[in-house]
Amino acid sequence: MADIDEIRSLVVGFLPRRDPEAPSSVLGAGNDDIEVGRTWLRRAAEHGLAVPKWPVEFGGRDGDGDEADLIGSVLSEFAVPDMYPFAVGISLVAPILFDSGSEDQRRRWLRPIADGSEIWCQMFSEPDAGSDLANVASRAELDGDQWVISGQKVWTSRGPYSRWGMCLSRTDTGQVKHRGLTMFALDMQAEGVEVRPLHQMNGDTHFSEVFVDEARVGRDDILGGEGQGWGVAMAVLTHERAGLGGSGGGLDPSGGYGWLDRLGTLGRTTDPVWRDRAMRIYVRQRVAAWTATRRQAEVEMGRPDGSGGSGGKLRLVEVYKERTALMRDALGPAGALVDDTMVEFLTGPSMSIRGGTDEIQRNIIGERILGLPPEPRVDKGVSYAELRRQGMV
């Protein structure tokens, strides 16, 4: 295992030191600079710095948890670019490929994910399939050696600059709606794929509608196997919630507590009323971080990971929204003119929706953790085709 000086001397060559006063970029809010991230990832992949636990051949360094932690702590001293554009590939697609991808798929896709040359997006949501994701209506039919996909996706973050889309489509309408779904790797440059960017209220245009009209996908470009799409989607969402509810700093790349320093520079931390409000947020953030650490430990001990991310995501989203409102208030009316403060504040509401809404996280906690009775379901045991015939999807 490398020591701290060795890692530091490597990173010094690639990245400037982090300026604690510099505004952070959160989940790509207000930041569409892909090239700066790509340059960092290209260099990082040569030494396995961005994905230390991955095998060397795919851009990692075969590291263990201790080495990954060490690298993480060194990187927190530096201005690491916002990894938002690359997050689907690194944090959501790669675990699927490691778990259930073929050798050929790992060779084709992992290295370009690690070095940033190929960006992935997540094409799950549709106009009638959001919280009730199993309603997905996009169809895929086999034609010789290829699948032909048609349908409409919406809220596809990173769509405008992605090379690949993780596209959930229906391959069998005779099954109940959760079954008969398959996860495809769709080439976003293929004929029949049209991406139309959507404008968000924080000024970003990260997400988009994607219209897919008879786009062709290779027979083997399936993630997790034909008919296994629901299981893959659930695994992806679990990783996504865990990432959003991260290690307590998941929503703040500056290490998690940079906002307190900033509040201090505004002279607010000496005032008892402001201190009280700040401390409430700080305590909740700490608790969220410990919850995330405990969840991570449970995962490493091999305990099922099905719903553990939901509580972490809920807490971190709450903290994020309270913290950005605090900073807006601390700056007063002038805050409206401070770009990063307003962008962060206006990004807040989306946190309660993306990766599954707050209400859905509470349903998961209620049903899967607390064992409360599930919601009544009229679609149980009924095939998708029959539901459609009855106008229920």
Ligand X SMILES: Cc1cc2nc3c(=O)[nH]c(=O)nc-3n(C[C@H](O)[C@H](O)[C@H](O)COP(=O)(O)OP(=O)(O)OC[C@H]3O[C@@H](n4cnc5c(N)ncnc54)[C@H](O)[C@@H]3O)c2cc1C
**Footprint of ligand X on this chain (CB under 6 A)?**
121-125, 130-131, 155-157, 207, 350, 353-354, 356-357, 359-360, 363, 375
The least CB distance from residue 83 to ligand X, in Å, is: 15
- Our CB check for ligand X shows the closer of 23 and 130 to be 130
- Our CB check for ligand X shows the closer of 159 and 248 to be 159
Round to whole Å and give the CA distance between 261 and 215.
50
The least CB distance from residue 392 to ligand X, in Å, is: 15
The least CB distance from residue 248 to ligand X, in Å, is: 21
Q: Which residues 6+ apart lie within 8 Å of 47 measured at CB? A: 10, 61
Residue 266's identity, in one-letter code, is L
Position closest to ligand X via CB: 130
| Distance in angstroms between the alpha carbons of the first and the last residue of the chain | 54
Round to whole Å and give the CA distance between 231 and 100.
11
- Our CB check for ligand X shows the closer of 31 and 157 to be 157
The least CB distance from residue 374 to ligand X, in Å, is: 10
User: Residues 240, 344, 359, 386: which is the catalytic one?
Assistant: 240
CB 159 within 8 A of CB 188: yes
- Our CB check for ligand X shows the closer of 203 and 264 to be 203
Round to whole Å and give the CA distance between 114 and 83.
11
- Our CB check for ligand X shows the closer of 138 and 285 to be 138
DSSP 139-190: EEEEETTEEEEEEEE-S-TTGGG-SEEEEEEES-TTSBTTSSEEEEEEETTS
Degrees, nearest 5: CA angle 220-222-226: 100
The least CB distance from residue 159 to ligand X, in Å, is: 8
**Any idea which residue has 């600059």 for tokens?**
161
Cα dist from 175 to 179, 274, 325, 361, 393, whole Å: 6, 56, 46, 26, 14
Round to whole Å and give the CA distance between 111 and 15.
21
Query: Catalytic annotation on 240?
Result: yes
- Catalytically active residues are 240
